[in-house]
């Protein structure tokens, strides 16, 4: 996942978009730059490890990311990738009571998106869901104080 800054996205858009690492470039043995692709195309920039959010349970197949499909765009900015990803709006939610990653009826999964805090009747209501977006590390620090 890659974080989308708040001043770029709309109020109902997802705070992150799912991406898959396509290639890794190593510089000076310590700096690794990652080329990534979203569901709709390849992002223009290369990203450092700190800019990416690792989610082991969210696979490329589950997020509907196929880098070999026809029509994949090239050189997308994060802003453009976010606007394409959120074309139906981020406000759609599900009320599943089972694991959304395996449910064929889950609205979020059908759209190729992660569940949000508005799904399942609120965060933490469905502990079985493996499709829930990860917590934002920046907001956790604010809540801890």
Lowest mean pLDDT segment, chosen from 40-44, 121-125, 139-143: 139-143
Which SS3 state, helix, strand or coil, does residue 15 take?
coil
| Residue 136: predicted pLDDT | 53
pTM of the predicted model as reported, rounded to 2 decimal places: 0.65
* CB atoms inside a 10 Å sphere around CB 50: 6
The closest alpha carbon to 76, from 35, 16, 33, 27, belongs to: 35
Confidence of residue 41 (pLDDT cuts 50, 70, 90): very high
The closest alpha carbon to 107, from 123, 94, 126, belongs to: 94
| Residue 123: predicted pLDDT | 63
C-alpha 79 chain-centroid distance: 13
- Residues 43-100 have pLDDT tens digits of 999 999 999 999 888 888 888 899 998 889 999 998 888 888 877 655 567 888 888 8
């Amino acid at each position: 996942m890659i974080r989308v800054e708040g001043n770029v996205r709309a109020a109902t858009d997802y705070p992150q978009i799912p991406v898959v690492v396509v290639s890794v470039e190593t510089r000076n043995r310590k700096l690794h730059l990652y080329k990534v692709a979203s569901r709709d195309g390849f992002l223009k920039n290369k990203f450092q490890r700190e800019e990416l959010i690792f989610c082991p349970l969210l696979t490329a197949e589950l997020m509907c990311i196929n880098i070999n499909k026809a029509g994949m765009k090239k050189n997308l900015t994060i802003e453009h990738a976010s606007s394409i990803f959120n074309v139906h709006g981020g406000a759609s939610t599900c009320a599943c009571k089972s694991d959304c990653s395996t449910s064929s009826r889950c609205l979020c999964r059908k759209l190729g998106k992660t569940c949000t805090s508005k799904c399942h009747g609120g965060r933490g209501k469905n502990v079985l869901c493996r499709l829930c977006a990860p917590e934002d590390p920046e907001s956790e620090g604010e809540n801890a104080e």
